[in-house]
Amino acid sequence: MAACDCLLTLVAGDDLALREPALAELRGMVEEDPQDSSYRLRYGFALMVIEDREGAAREAAILDSVDNPSYSFHLTLGQIFYYCGDTVKGRAHLELAVENAIYDQDRITARKLIADLEKR
C-alpha cells in the first residue's frame, strides 16, 4: 500500500516527467488486481488530480458498489464523485465517512469537506 501512496504523491507532484509513469504504474496495479478497491480508489483519485473527469467517474462508479466501512475510503470516494459532478453520491459517501469515523477530528474533517463542497 505504501508504494501505491507514493505513486499517488508523484502523480500529484510538480514533476511532470514522473507523473505519467506513476499514473501508468497505478493503472497497471488496477489491471493486475481489479478487485483491489484500495488500488482502484487511489487510481481514481489520481485521475481526479490530473483532471480526467471521465476516467475518475468510471473508477468511482465501479467503487460505488464496494462494501467498505472505512472512513478514508468514503472520504476519498466522496471527493471523486463531487469532482465528477455527482453531488448526490459525493455527499452520500462523505456522510458515510462521518458515520464510519472513529475519531472526532475525522468527523469534523468530513463535515467541513461537505460544507466546503456545497459552497461551490
pLDDT digits (tens, 9 = 90+) for 52-103: 999 999 999 999 999 999 999 999 999 999 999 999 999 999 999 999 999 9
pLDDT in tens, 19-33: 999 999 999 999 999
Greatest alpha-carbon pair distance for the chain in Å reads 40
118 band by pLDDT with thresholds 50, 70 and 90: confident
Q: What value, to the nearest 5°, has the Cα angle with vertex 85 and ends 33 and 15?
A: 60
Q: Quick one: pLDDT at residue 82?
A: 95
The domains of the chain are located at: 1-66, 67-120
Q: 28: how many CB neighbours lie within 10 A of its CB?
A: 13
